[in-house]
Every structure is written in C-alpha cells, then in structure tokens.
C-alpha cells in the first residue's frame, strides 16, 4: 500500500510539474537507475539489504544525473528535464543489459529478472524501516506543496507572474517525487503503470485541483496496489510478479479511459 501510494503521489506530482498527463514516476530515469543498482547488488553481494540500498542509491544517482544535465542545458525548462531523463534511462538500461549478460544464468539471472518484474513478497518488516523515512518526508512535502503544483501546471511565465519561484519550486517537487519513487522501487522492484493510471482515475473522481487530487491519488494508489497484490498472490498457486499484473490490468484500463475520452485533461 505504501508503494502504491508513493508511486501514485510521485506520478501525479510529476504530471503537474511537467504539464503533461502522460508522465510517469520513472520519467527521470529512476526506474532504470534503481534497477541497475539492484542488479549490481545481486551480482556482487546477494544480500537483501545491500540490494535495497544500492537500488535506492542508484535511483537517486540517476535523478541527480538527470537534474544536473537538465540544468546545464539552460532555458528550456521542463523539456530539458524530460530529455535528460531519457538519456539517463537509456544509459542505465544498457548497464542492466550488461549486468544480465555477465550474470550467472542459473542463479543470479533469474533473480535479476524477477526483481525487475516487481514483487512485494520478499519484503520483511525490517526492510520497511529503511524506506519509510524518505517516503514519509517526500510525501509530506508534496502534500504540503499541493496547491503550488496547480500553479506550476499553468506554465512557467504565468506561475512567475503569480509570484512563484518556478525553478526552485519545480526542483523541490521533482526531488521529493523522485525520492519517494526510488524508495518504493528499492523494495518492490520496477512496478509500472501504477504511477500513470492511478492519477488518471483520481482525476476522474475529484477533478484536476491538486488540493483534492493529490490526497485522492494516495488513497487510490494504496487501494489499487493492495488489490493487485491480492490478485498476484491468489490467482495462481505461485505468486505472479506484480509488475506483470499492474501492466496487464493497467494498460487495458488506460486504453479504456482514453477511448471513453474522459481523461480529465484537454
């Protein structure tokens, strides 16, 4: 539930900051970064805690790489962040492939693949302590700043004319959303679609105002994840990786929403 809420909060925040409803929490390369961190952990130490820490660390590293690259290419604002996110993502995806290539095909490779597909089954309560702090801080800041996300979604110039320090505000929101995302990814693996679909469902329920939208996304995200996790554990005798279920459920749902034309944006 934490993971679902975290991914959804991050997703909905990113959508506001980037003024694009098709943005997901992995936009700055956090998914690929954490993925590589986990691969590295599996390859070198194969210790549960180390894997998580590395996933978290590389998720943050990917974020800072993307942000500093985005800031160097001045003037284009959000587009620069998106582009550098794509660059960082592709680098880490390549590194993941490399890790898979050198991994022991009988032992390490299955573990890597399984981790990348996302799973909640191996989480113990001890692990939660590690991620609860960054998740709580990130979510709290985003929750408090939720009104300002509205303003940022108007565009840079208008936000500036309303007295908002756009660059600083955007950076804070991006950092918090990424922090929350990488914390989630570090324990659950790469779970797709949640951060994209849940904000849309929430937007259909309460409208686009972040005052209501952000808390709603947290609740819907948590419920969605609980549902999917239950499905994953009960549909077959062996647990199906979560990433598969969220994609199988999320993608058609998204397609249905598009067809209905009630996406909650213009």
Partner 1 sequence: MELILEVESLRYSYGKEPVFENVSFSLRGGEVMCILGPNGSGKSTLLKCIAGIFKPAAGSVRIMGEDTAVLGAGNIARRIGYVPQQNEVVFPFTILDFVLMGRTPHISIFASPGAKDMEIARESLAIVGIADLAERTLSSLSGGQRQMALIARALAQQPALLLLDEPTAHLDFGNQVLVLEAVQKLASSGISIVMNTHVPDHAFLVGSRAAALCDRRLLAVDEVAAVVNSEIMSSVYGVNVAVREIEDLKRKVCVAMLERFDPLRI
By the criterion CB under 8 A, which residues form the site for partner 1? 16, 19-21, 144-148, 150-151, 153-155, 157-158, 160-165, 203, 207-209, 211, 264-266
C-alpha–C-alpha distance, residues 98 and 117, integer Å: 17
Residue 14 or 115 with smaller CB distance to partner 1: 14
Residue 151 or 228 with smaller CB distance to partner 1: 151
CB of 210 to partner 1, least distance (A): 9
CB of 246 to partner 1, least distance (A): 24
CB of 70 to partner 1, least distance (A): 20
Residue 95 or 179 with smaller CB distance to partner 1: 179
Task: Count Cβ atoms within 10 A of the Cβ of residue 53 and give its class: 0-12 exposed, 13-18 middle, 19 or more buried.
Answer: middle
Residue 104 or 158 with smaller CB distance to partner 1: 158
C-alpha–C-alpha distance, residues 21 and 263, integer Å: 9
CB of 204 to partner 1, least distance (A): 11
User: Residue 82, Cβ neighbours under 10 Å: how many?
Assistant: 19
CB of 83 to partner 1, least distance (A): 19
CB of 162 to partner 1, least distance (A): 4
Residue 94 or 140 with smaller CB distance to partner 1: 140
Residue 213 or 242 with smaller CB distance to partner 1: 213
């Amino acid at each position: 539930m934490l993971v679902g809420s975290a991914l959804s909060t991050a997703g909905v925040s990113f959508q506001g900051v980037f003024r694009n409803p098709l943005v997901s929490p992995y936009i700055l390369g956090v998914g690929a970064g954490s993925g590589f961190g986990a691969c590295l952990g599996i390859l070198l130490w194969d210790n549960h805690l180390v894997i998580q820490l590395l996933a978290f660390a590389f998720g943050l590293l990917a974020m800072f790489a993307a942000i500093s690259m985005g800031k160097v290419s001045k003037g284009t604002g959000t587009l620069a962040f998106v582009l550098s996110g794509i660059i960082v993502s592709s680098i880490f995806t390549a590194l993941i492939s490399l890790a898979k290539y050198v991994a022991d095909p009988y032992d390490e490779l299955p573990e890597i693949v399984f981790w990348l597909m996302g799973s909640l089954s191996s989480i113990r309560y001890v692990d939660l302590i590690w991620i609860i702090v960054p998740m709580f801080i990130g979510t709290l800041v985003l929750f408090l700043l939720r009104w300002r996300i509205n303003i940022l979604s108007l565009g840079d110039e208008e936000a500036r004319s309303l007295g908002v320090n756009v660059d600083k505000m955007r950076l804070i929101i991006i950092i918090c959303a990424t922090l929350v995302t990488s914390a989630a990814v570090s324990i659950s693996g790469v779970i797709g679609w949640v951060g994209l679909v849940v904000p849309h469902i929430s937007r259909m329920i309460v409208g686009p105002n972040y005052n209501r939208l952000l808390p709603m996304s947290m609740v819907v995200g948590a419920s969605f994840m609980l549902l999917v996790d239950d499905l994953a554990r009960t549909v077959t005798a062996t647990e199906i990786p979560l990433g598969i279920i969220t994609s199988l459920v999320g993608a058609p749902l998204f397609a249905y929403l598009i067809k209905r034309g009630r996406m909650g944006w213009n």
